Chains A and B, each alone.
Chain A
Amino acid sequence: MKNKVVAMLLAGGQGSRLKSLTYNIAKPAIPFGGKYRIIDFPLSNCMNSEIHTVGVLTQYQPHVLHNYIGQGIPWDLDRRSGGVTMLTPYTEMGGLKWYDGTANAIYQNMHYLAEQDPEYVLILSGDHIYKMNYQTMLEFHKEQKADVTISVIEVPWKETHRFGIMNTDDQMNVKEFVEKPENAESNLASMGVYIFNWQKLKKYLQLDNENENSSHDFGKNIIPLMLENNEKMVAYPYKGYWKDVGTVDSLWEANMDLLDETSGLNLHDPGWRIFSSNPQLPPQFIGEHGVVQDSLVNEGCVIEGAIEKSVIFQDVQVDEGASLKECVVMSGVKIGKGAQLQRVIIPPGLSIPENYQIPDQKEEIVLLTEEVLENWGRGEGL
């Protein structure tokens, strides 16, 4: 098929700054927004952009992701041709090859790409919450007759040191790529979304692989190498909500953004729905004493306590007298009678004891764990 695009979704990262949330699952599998996982966003973007061939590259703790994605039915990826393919590291004649860097992960799946025979390859990461039409970006890529197009977003100048920054000319040609600069010349940050012409990508992956000193990373190696060789590289300016949910704080903030009409993150757009696997639970029940304000409450919940400005996932039980404010409560959690919680993230399946309160909590966001609860039980505080 002409103009064929294959998306390669990098989902092998650990996301260690999310602490206990990623001990057992990869970052893209982290629950988000009451009924989603982070990976639902890039997958739904693919579906809404009519990209029907997606390779999902996994490495770190992949079982939840594999199980969750399955045949890709929620994202219309259960297809006769193309569809979703889970790409894990494998052994070959040369031995076992773990993915070593983002570019290496793609390099090791060149057979898959060759088999799909695309014209363009879209590289995505499974770490961000955003809604983006990749087809519009592809149009831009074609118009500019680029070899590679990198999606960029304007970030506040004071935060430029956290991002990979693109220095461009007036025509959006990329002149320089600087990783986490101290004194940035531009505030256009790379979103980690790339469109490559497949033949060019193939060439540079092979070149990069031959370089033993390379760390085989798109940002650190492939992009600079292509710039060095004067390949046509353009920046595609994206406008809209985009958030890296790589830390406990940013994950909490992104959840809270769902409760804020002015945040720019809108799940109610019928033309750009975010799809997710459905657990088929009964409807939520708000009991006689239950009070719910300014919150998302999902199926299977039984609410007897008071909830304010919180995101409550599926199958959560909140007992009488308990109160939650600005909390993210993941699925299967039980909140005991009289517990008082504010600004916490509660991972799936935790049971919060009766009358629990976090000692000495100031403004910070707390990620609760089994360990924290046990310590509290012994009277040891946080």
Chain B
Amino acid sequence: MRLMAVIDASVRMSGLEDLTMYRSTASIPFSGRYRLIDFALSNVVNSNINLVGVFPAYPFVSLLDHIGVGKSWDLNRRKDGLFFLPGSQKAGNYVSVGAFSMLGEHRQFFAKSKQEHVVITNCFTVAQLDFDDMLDAHLASGMDITEAICDDGTHLKSYILSKKLLVELMESYEEKENHQH
């Protein structure tokens, strides 16, 4: 109810090139019966989040085949549910999770939603995260952005921020881009 989710399924991992010739990192098979994106999707659903945007990069046939309409995660909904939001940046990138250029291409996804906060998560972290708890911690801290950090100090590259701030960041990125051209 409070949170919507962005799953960045576009990031490429150096070292996994052989496995990602024909599929995205998100759809790499894992542990006999999963694919990597299952962790992100299950974290989202188990945190009681009903609105999820998956932002993939090419090649995503296997990812789309795996997710379908999201039925396995109860995301085949009339209200909210799963959105598959490919960008024009074909190949994805190696660097960042939740790149504003990618999110900015689907501003309507954010504009049409009612949720006040956004969690941005990725498809290369195998973890069980409760974003609802994380949101409570985020709100209690009064900070602008919260990132999930593991006990050993590893950055899990999952972030929570207000939708208002995210939209502002997307806008200022776009302005900067326009300025440069």
Contact = CB atoms under 8 A, between A and B. Distances in A.
Q: Do A and B bind each other?
A: yes
Given A81-B74, A135-B1, A76 B79 contact: yes
B114 A76 contact: no
Given A50-B1, A135-B1, A275 B78 contact: yes
A50 B2 CA distance: 11
B74 A79 contact: yes
A171 to B, nearest CB: 26
Interface residues of B, number: 11
Contacts of B114: 271
Interface string A26-69: 00000000000000000000011010100000000000000000
B27 interface: no
Interface in B71-96: 72, 74, 77-79
Interface string A1-23: 11000000000000000000000
B46 interface: yes
Pick the most buried of A47, A76, A273, A275: most chain B CB atoms within 10 A of its CB: A76
Contacts of A47: 78-79
Contacts of A80: 72, 74
B48 interface: yes
Contacts of A1: 46, 48
A48 B74 contact: no
Interface string A179-214: 000000000000000000000000000000000000
Nearest to A83: B74
Contacts of B48: 1
A76 B80 CA distance: 10
Nearest to B76: A78
Nearest to A78: B76
B1 A76 contact: no
B10 interface: no
Contact of A50 (B46, B50, B72, B74): B50
A81 B78 CA distance: 17
A47 B48 CA distance: 14
Nearest to B81: A76
Interface of A: 1-2, 47-48, 50, 52, 74, 76, 79-81, 135, 271, 273, 275
Interface of B: 1, 46, 48, 50, 72, 74, 77-79, 114, 132
13 contacts: A2-B132, A47-B78, A48-B79, A50-B50, A74-B78, A76-B79, A79-B74, A80-B72, A80-B74, A81-B74, A271-B114, A273-B79, A275-B78
Given A48-B79, A271-B114, 8 more contacts: A1-B48, A2-B132, A50-B1, A50-B50, A74-B78, A76-B79, A81-B74, A135-B1
